[in-house]
Amino acid sequence: MIDFSPMRDGDVSFLDYAARENIGPAELKAYSDESLDYLLGLLDGLSDDDVVFDPDDPGANDPFAVEGEENIGWNFGHLIAHVTASSEEGAALSSLLARGIAASERPRYETPWRDIKTVAQVRQRLDESRRMRNAYLETWPDEPLLHVKRDVSERFTARFGEMNAPAAFLFGLSHEVGHYEQIEDVRRQALAARAAA
């Protein structure tokens, strides 16, 4: 998997990284599939109860959560709903940008996390996300319009740089990868709680 830390730290922009590495749809598909395969692998050994296990997360702080849920720990299903939504948003934006549409809105939809209660539902969500991401990449023209950038705030651009099609896809994927440690910790907590029960 790509080391996204230089991009997250602001040492190199997502756009410059994608250009330097000559990243196109085939590479983006490979990176996305690698991430989804990793997340599917984390399901090994989990039970349905583990998917909805409420983890301890003293640092939980989500100002965008519904009232009363700002400081709850996110269970495994919640995290999968969240990270797949971000990657799909990046994929949707990449499709628009590659076809010359300087997107300003966020084409984001997050599966309601409370609906994900079983291992089978997590697997379905990940498989569905793979299908959706790959479908967005299939919409790229043979000669994508890489000069077209997202129409976003100056603050966003100052922090992450301009976003063209490959950069937008990578940005969404970097968010997913950035949650790996949290997902792994929730998995560990769930398994430890089950072993202790």
**pLDDT score of 66 more than 90:** no
Lowest-confidence pick of 59-73, 103-117, 155-169? 59-73
Spell out the domain ranges in the chain: 5-196
User: pLDDT class for 78, splitting at 50, 70, 90?
Assistant: very high
Q: Which CATH number describes the domain made up of 5-196?
A: 1.20.120.450
pLDDT digit string (tens) for 111-162? 999 999 999 999 999 999 999 999 999 999 999 999 999 998 899 998 899 9
pLDDT digit string (tens) for 8-58? 888 999 999 999 999 999 999 999 999 999 999 999 999 999 999 999 988
In order, the DSSP letters of 21-36 are TT--HHHHHHHHHHHH
**Quick one: pLDDT at residue 1?**
82
In order, the DSSP letters of 33-89 are HHHHHHHHHTTTT--HHHHT-----TT---TTSPTT-TTPPP-HHHHHHHHHHHHHH
Q: Is the pTM of this model over 0.85?
A: yes
**Quick one: pLDDT at residue 181?**
96
